[in-house]
Each structure stands twice: as structure tokens, then as C-alpha cells.
Amino acid sequence: MRDTGWMIPFENEEILAKKYRIRLRGIDAPESAMPYGKEAKIELTKIVQGKPLRVLVYGEDRYQRCVGDIYCNNIFIQEMMLKKGLAWHYAAYDKRPELETWEKEAKAKRVGLWASKNPEKPWDWRKNKRDAN
């Protein structure tokens, strides 16, 4: 793994007092109102809540969220979300081939959102919502 990010600094007792908004680098999950949106949020919460996380931050997005890779108990969270069919590979922003592979595996198995024939991509859904307003 390339380790070009930076770690969020904290002391053990400070982690509960400070909250960070982190955008998972390279993937995009369905919005809450979309099919599988609630399932994606529940699954992510189940995986990480109350557990120590390793966060490698690669920058900030336009909403001032840290953009990074997250590991929980040596599990790469983006890999888990893609393999469960609960996120898309966000290829426009991240060209890592393993993300594409994990998405293709989930599609082939028709798991999660890939059980639908043509699930709407969250970036298209958000654009359509903006255009409608």
C-alpha cells in the first residue's frame, strides 16, 4: 500500500472529544434516500462504531471533510463496502485498480445495490436533485 497520507493526530483520551468528518477516498455510497442508502450507513456504522480506526488523510474536499482511507482492525473499509455492494468505485477521483476490481466482483455476484439491474449512481442522483431545484 502506498502510504502518502497523513494520520489524524490524537491522544487516546482525546479521540472521544473530537469528531472528524471523513470522506472515504475512492468510493461513493448511495444517499440515504436512495435504494441501499440506509443499508450502507448501517453497515458502515456496524463496522467502525466504537472501534479504533487508522485514518490516512490525503486532503480535503470542497465541504472541508478529510478525504482518506480508513482501516479498522486491519480491514480496509473501502474494500469492505465495495465487496458488499454498498458503494460505487468513484473512478472520476480515484484510479486505484483494486477498487475497480472489488466493484466488478460485487456486480458479478449481484450483491447489495448490484441486485438491481441498473442502480442509479449517487453523483447522478445528486445532480438530478440539484437540477430539479
126 part of the active site: no
Amino acid identity of residue 88, one-letter, is: W
Residue 100 is assigned to a structural domain of this protein:
yes
Residue 126 is assigned to a structural domain of this protein:
yes
Our count of domains for the chain comes to 1
Assign residue 85 a region: left if phi > 0, alpha if psi is -120 to 50, beta otherwise? Answer: left
Residue 5 to residue 131: CA distance in whole angstroms? 35
Residue 79 is assigned to a structural domain of this protein:
yes
62 part of the active site: no
Query: pLDDT tens digits for 57-69?
Result: 998 888 888 899 9
Q: Looking at 11, 14, 21, 23, which residue is catalytic?
A: 23
Q: Looking at 25, 31, 43, 103, which residue is catalytic?
A: 31
Query: pLDDT tens digits for 63-89?
Result: 888 899 999 988 999 999 999 999 999
Q: Looking at 39, 54, 65, 96, which residue is catalytic?
A: 65
Residue 1 is assigned to a structural domain of this protein:
no
Residue 109 to residue 17: CA distance in whole angstroms? 41
The enclosing domain of 73 has a CATH number of 2.40.50.90
Per-residue confidence band for 43, with pLDDT thresholds at 50, 70 and 90: very high
Residue 103 has pLDDT above 90, yes or no: yes
Residue 72 is assigned to a structural domain of this protein:
yes
Residue 24 to residue 87: CA distance in whole angstroms? 10
Segments forming the whole domain that contains residue 15: 6-132
Give the per-residue pLDDT at 17.
44
Has this prediction a pTM greater than 0.85?
A: no
What does DSSP say about strands 22-24 and 6-7: parallel, antiparallel, or unpaired? unpaired
11 part of the active site: no
